[in-house]
Amino acid sequence: MSFPARRPRRLRSSAAVRRLMAETHLVPSQLVLPMFVREGIADPQPITSMPGQEQHTLDSLRRAAAEAAEAGIGGLMLFGVPAVRDAVGSGADDPEGILNVATAAVAEEVGDALVVQTDLCLDEFTDHGHCGVLTPGGAVDNDRTLERYRAMGLAQARAGSHLLGLSGMMDGQVEAVRDALDAEGFTDTLILAYSAKYAGAFYGPFREAVDSQLTGDRRTYQMDPPNAREGLVEALLDVEEGADVVMVKPALPYLDVLADVRQAVDVPVWAYQVSGEYSMVEAAAGNGWIDRRATILDSLMAIRRAGADAILTYWAVEAAGWIRSGL
Ligand code: PBG
């Protein structure tokens, strides 16, 4: 009798065996690149809190979008940084607003080579930095915000966005935007619901990326980090309201929620590897403390393994290049 009877190490005995036995795969079409476009700048501006990322001009955005299409990734998620802001975020649904102008330019540039997506939220456009409009007392007014989201959704669809990323965490936002889209004939425009979007520190570097005006926090609308069951409730509600895709965000710190949501719904589930996750790896790699490429690939594989069908990641184009060259 031989001992041990089971030798799981056989499954790891060579690179060829490991390749054949891999349970999870990463392909470029599963990656979505978030991009920032800023109004009124002559040259792209580096985002110091996110080394390697920049705020684009319209021209540099077009070029980068074409490169991303060339790299074979699945989509782009556009964020706009306006020059002027007000209390209701008027730039968000203005056809001449930076995000809508950029969306039209990118849609023209890439056509159907990838899915052009837009962040649907007011925080970049309001002078107080909140994701919605405020009551006289300063609270975020859920139902008046829904009216703004309906207008913003229509403006984005008209500009040529294929998929709207509803990231504001207002109750009823999916149903409200779906209704507005359908009433105007945009029945093919997809809705991605940022369903389980947790408040917290991991969005820190993004504040610089969009020149955020926020003081305080988003804890009355984004989810509370201790709560996992509630993430499921949010995802199920969004599916009921008509979300085509649901998302968990941030990614690595919330893999438990991601795995739960994957089990509970039958629509695609995405994850957003957010700015803080990006910057931590870049900082450690910049100091020579970790192997940058291996860490990025480990993190993306972990997010896939936990159940993400696609991943929003600032490394989308670079990782697609590594994948194409054989990992
Ligand atoms: C809201 C929005 C945010 C992010 C994506 N959409 C900011 C926030 O909720 O505070 C953060 C993404 C990241 O940190 O990479 N428009």
CA-204 nearest atom, ligand 1: 14
The CA 53 to ligand 1 mean position distance, Å, reads 15
Quote the pLDDT of residue 260.
Answer: 98
Give the pairing type, strands 54-56 and 45-46. antiparallel
Which ligand 1 atom sits nearest the alpha carbon of residue 122? 16
Tell me what pLDDT residue 98 has: 98
Please work out whether the CB of residue 254 comes within 6 Å of at least one atom of ligand 1. Answer: no
Task: Examine the pLDDT at 183 and tell me if it is beyond 80.
Answer: yes
CATH topology of domain 26-324: TIM Barrel (3.20.20)
Q: Ligand 1, from 125, 130, 169, 206: best to mutate by most atoms within 8 Å of Cβ?
A: 206
Calculate mean pLDDT across residues 203-215.
Answer: 94
What pLDDT is attached to residue 322?
Answer: 97
Mean pLDDT of 321-326: 93
* Ligand 1 pocket check for 203: Cβ under 6 Å: yes
Which pLDDT tens digit goes with each residue over 108-165?
999 999 999 999 999 999 999 999 999 999 999 999 999 999 999 999 999 999 999 9
- Which band of pLDDT confidence, cut at 50, 70 and 90, is reported for residue 243? very high
* Pocket of ligand 1 contains residue 167 by CB under 6 Å: yes
Any ligand 1 atom below 6 A from CB of 206: yes
Residue 86's pLDDT is 98
Backbone φ, ψ for residue 223 (5° rounding): -75, 160
CA pair distance 326, 320, nearest whole angstrom: 10
Ligand 1 centre distance from Cα of residue 203 (Å): 6
Res 2: pLDDT = 78
Confidence of residue 200 (pLDDT cuts 50, 70, 90): confident
What is the pLDDT, as a whole number, of residue 326? 84
In the chain, the percentage of residues whose pLDDT exceeds 90 is 98
> Domain-by-domain residue ranges, the chain?
26-324
Q: Decide whether any atom of ligand 1 lies within 6 Å of the 121 Cβ.
A: yes
CA–CA separation, 221 and 71 (whole Å): 36
- Active-site amino acid positions: 197, 249
Place of tokens 């001449």: 96
Tell me if 251 CB under 6 Å of ligand 1: no
Please check the confidence at residue 84 and state whether its pLDDT lies above 80.
yes
Residue 88 scores a pLDDT above 90:
yes
Q: Taking the CB of residue 144, how many other CB atoms lie within 10 A of it? A: 14
Return the best residue to mutate from 125, 140, 164, 167 for the ligand 1 pocket (most ligand atoms within 8 A of CB). Answer: 167
Average pLDDT, the chain: 97
**Nearest 5°: phi and psi at 299?**
-70, -40
Per-residue pLDDT band for 1 (boundaries 50, 70, 90) equals: low
Average pLDDT over residues 17-23: 97
Atom of ligand 1 nearest to the CA of 205: 14
**Would you state the pLDDT for residue 42?**
97
For residue 77, the model assigns a pLDDT of: 98
Q: Could you identify the residue written with the tokens 């100091």?
A: 287
Ligand 1 centroid to 217 CA: how many Å? Answer: 12
Among candidate residues 176, 157, 85, the one with its CA nearest the CA of residue 122? 85
Q: Which helix (H) or strand (E) holds 81?
A: strand 75-81
Atom of ligand 1 nearest to the CA of 165: 6
Q: Residue for token digits 């080394």? A: 51
User: What are the residues whose beta carbons fall under 8 Å from the beta carbon of 287, sequence distance 6 or more?
Assistant: none
Residue 275 CB–ligand 1 contact under 6 Å: yes
